[in-house]
């Protein structure tokens, strides 16, 4: 068991050695993914390169396609780093980027049968049967590499954890290599852990509404009805209102909080995991109390927001603790939330238009140029989490980029049984385009001219999947 981790580290140590042997005057080309994990990965590497007095040039990109790789062909750089992406494009990288030394530090699944040329150094946990979906993120891989290059990078252990949170690798704590990185961040006091109520929206919804609209965790007899939620609170001698003002969870005394949590756990005693209302909070003690960067989950949302609004450099500055940049990043988070609200409004307003196809088991939403392509994955996730959807409903969102291509995202409500990456690849194999992603979140890039054929094919294949599921479940 432990051997595989040692082998993984040995391989990274070898990669670091190779890197050290390269000319120190070369400018290093860094290409990373624009989500929170990609921004964390890039920031950690940049910190290491700064400590080593190396020069670099960064690009943060939404996805690595063959077209994008071809754009690098004319560059004069001789050392490339692909972080949090690249594993899925090893063949294209080697085809186009010859005579360069290329480091790919990634955690996505890849084709293990492909034999690498000598100029590509590929570091991926899956090569060692370590699960890159849960045990380590892209920023974790870069963290291991970077700490071996310069141990002072350990100071950014918390950034690797924020990256892993961004990739939804936190599930009631961390496992595998993530756990080791977390322990380092805790030991250095860059993070603190606290057990708290896991529900979403506690900051913005008053207590009775929070309880009433909570479907995850579900509270029997309370979820679904604000008046029952009020009665439930009164029975516990917790006043839902004081001075004519609804109370929030944060307004409760410690004693009231404890009483409420115990009562919910008792109500849930027939559920599979009654205590599932509690989860960990990851606090950055060096950050200010009211700042979104104080909580690791919000920090990761902030990075995601910067990336999606084409301001990834603000995210990198925030990770590297530049105070001025951090303020700008916080403003960016507000803009991002506004864009999400506007996108959801577009969806509501266009439900009966021909751009939204609604079926019992799936929805295809073609926003064309009405929603920014970099946020349609988020929109698909929000829609797939809405409580009125039946478990296993597929949500496909589409929006046009400015380069003649359309971005597609696919999600499923609840815990879908099918691998979404396989599903979307089935569609692109027939209708054209490049597919990618993983089991629970997949996407594709297709030529905009081909949208209609893509939608027709998607309709046919999603229909097929829906029918098969009905049969399988009956």
Interface ranges with Mn ion (CB under 5 A):
37, 84, 138, 167
**Nearest in space to 308 (alpha carbons), one of 369, 373, 396, 380:** 373
Q: Which is nearer to Mn ion, 167 or 298 (CB)?
A: 167
In sequence order, the β-bridge partners of residue 437 are 442
Nearer Cβ to Mn ion (35/339)? 35
Q: Which is nearer to Mn ion, 84 or 339 (CB)?
A: 84
Parallel/antiparallel/unpaired status of strands 56-61 and 28-33? parallel
CB-neighbour burial class of residue 213 (10 A; exposed 0-12, middle 13-18, buried 19+): middle
**What is the smallest separation between the CB atom of 175 and Mn ion, expressed in angstroms?**
16
434 Cβ neighbours under 8 A, 6+ residues apart: 65, 66, 428, 444, 445, 446
Q: How far is the CB of 308 from Mn ion (least distance, A)?
A: 15
With beta carbons less than 8 A apart as the criterion, state whether 44 and 141 touch: no
Name which of 58 and 238 has its Cβ closer to Mn ion.
Answer: 58
Burial of 141 (0-12, 13-18, 19+ CB in 10 A): buried
Q: How far apart are CA 150 and CA 367, in angstroms?
A: 46
Angle at 161 between CA 68 and CA 112, to 5 degrees: 50
Instruction: Say how far apart CA 25 and CA 54 lie, in whole Å.
Output: 7
Nearer to Mn ion, 330 or 375 (CB): 375
Quick one: 315 or 392, whose CB is closer to Mn ion?
315
What count of other Cβ atoms lies within 10 Å of the Cβ of residue 128?
16
Nearest distance from residue 13's CB to Mn ion, in Å?
22
Q: Provide, rounded to whole angstroms, the least separation between the CB of residue 88 and Mn ion.
A: 12
Q: Under a CB-based contact definition with an 8 Å cutoff, are residues 419 and 439 in contact?
A: yes
Task: Return the number of the residue (32 or 101) whose C-beta is nearest Mn ion.
Answer: 32
Between 37 and 434, whose beta carbon lies closer to Mn ion? 37
| Closer residue to Mn ion (CB): 84 or 434 | 84
In angstroms, give the least distance from the CB of 421 to Mn ion. 14
Question: Least Å distance between CB 84 and Mn ion?
Answer: 4
Q: What minimum distance in Å lies between the beta carbon of 179 and Mn ion?
A: 17
What lies within 8 Å, CB to CB, of 154 at 6+ separation is: 147, 184, 188
Give the span between the Cα atoms of 132 and 175, in whole angstroms.
11
Beta strands in 152-217 (DSSP E): 192-197
CB of 113 to Mn ion, least distance (A): 23
Closest of 138, 149, 177 to residue 300, by C-alpha: 138
**What is the Cα–Cα distance from 450 to 374, expressed in whole angstroms?**
20
**Minimum CB–partner distance for residue 132 and Mn ion (Å):** 8
Q: Which residue is nearest to Mn ion (CB)?
A: 37
């Amino acid at each position: 068991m432990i051997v595989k981790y040692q082998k993984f580290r040995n391989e990274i140590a070898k990669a670091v050695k190779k890197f050290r042997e390269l000319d120190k005057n070369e400018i290093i080309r860094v290409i990373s993914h624009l989500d929170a994990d990609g921004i964390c990965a890039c920031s950690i590497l940049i910190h290491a390169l700064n400590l080593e007095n190396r020069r670099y040039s960064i690009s943060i990109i939404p996805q690595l396609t063959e077209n994008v790789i071809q754009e690098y062909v004319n560059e004069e750089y001789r050392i490339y780093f692909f972080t949090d992406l690249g594993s899925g494009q090893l063949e294209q990288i080697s085809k186009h980027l010859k005579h360069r030394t290329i480091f790919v530090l990634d955690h996505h699944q890849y084709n293990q049968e492909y034999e690498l040329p000598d100029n590509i150094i590929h570091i991926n946990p899956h090569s060692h049967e370590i699960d890159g979906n849960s045990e380590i993120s892209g920023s974790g891989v870069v963290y291991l590499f970077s700490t071996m290059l310069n141990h002072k990078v350990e100071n950014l252990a918390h950034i690797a954890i924020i990256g892993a949170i961004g990739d939804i690798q936190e599930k009631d704590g961390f496992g595998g290599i993530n756990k080791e990185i977390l322990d380092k961040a805790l030991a250095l006091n860059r993070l603190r852990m606290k057990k708290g109520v896991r529900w979403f929206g506690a900051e913005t919804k008053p207590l009775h509404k929070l309880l009433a609209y909570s479907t995850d965790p579900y509270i029997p007899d309370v979820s679904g009805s604000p008046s029952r939620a009020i009665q439930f609170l009164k029975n516990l001698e917790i006043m839902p209102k004081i001075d004519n003002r609804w109370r929030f969870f944060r307004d409760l005394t410690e004693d009231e909080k404890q009483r409420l949590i115990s009562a919910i756990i008792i109500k849930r005693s027939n559920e599979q995991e009654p205590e599932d209302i509690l989860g960990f909070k990851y606090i950055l003690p060096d950050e200010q109390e009211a700042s979104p960067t104080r909580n690791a989950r919000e920090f990761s949302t902030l990075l995601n927001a910067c990336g999606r609004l084409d301001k990834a450099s603000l995210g990198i500055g925030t990770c590297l603790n530049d105070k001025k940049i951090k303020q700008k990043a916080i403003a960016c988070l507000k803009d991002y939330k506004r864009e999400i609200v506007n996108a959801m409004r577009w969806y509501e307003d266009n439900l009966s238009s021909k751009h939204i196809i609604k079926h019992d088991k799936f929805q295809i939403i073609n926003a064309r140029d009405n929603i920014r392509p970099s946020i349609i994955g988020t929109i698909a996730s929000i829609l797939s989490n809405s409580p009125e959807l039946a478990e296993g409903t597929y949500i496909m969102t589409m929006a046009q980029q400015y380069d003649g291509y359309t971005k597609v995202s696919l999600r499923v409500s609840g815990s879908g049984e099918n691998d979404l990456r396989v599903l979307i690849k089935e569609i692109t194999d027939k209708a054209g385009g490049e597919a990618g992603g993983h089991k629970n979140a997949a996407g594709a890039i297709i030529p905009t001219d081909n949208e209609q054929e893509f939608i027709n094919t998607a309709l046919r294949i999603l229909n097929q999947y829906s029918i098969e599921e009905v049969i399988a479940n009956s």
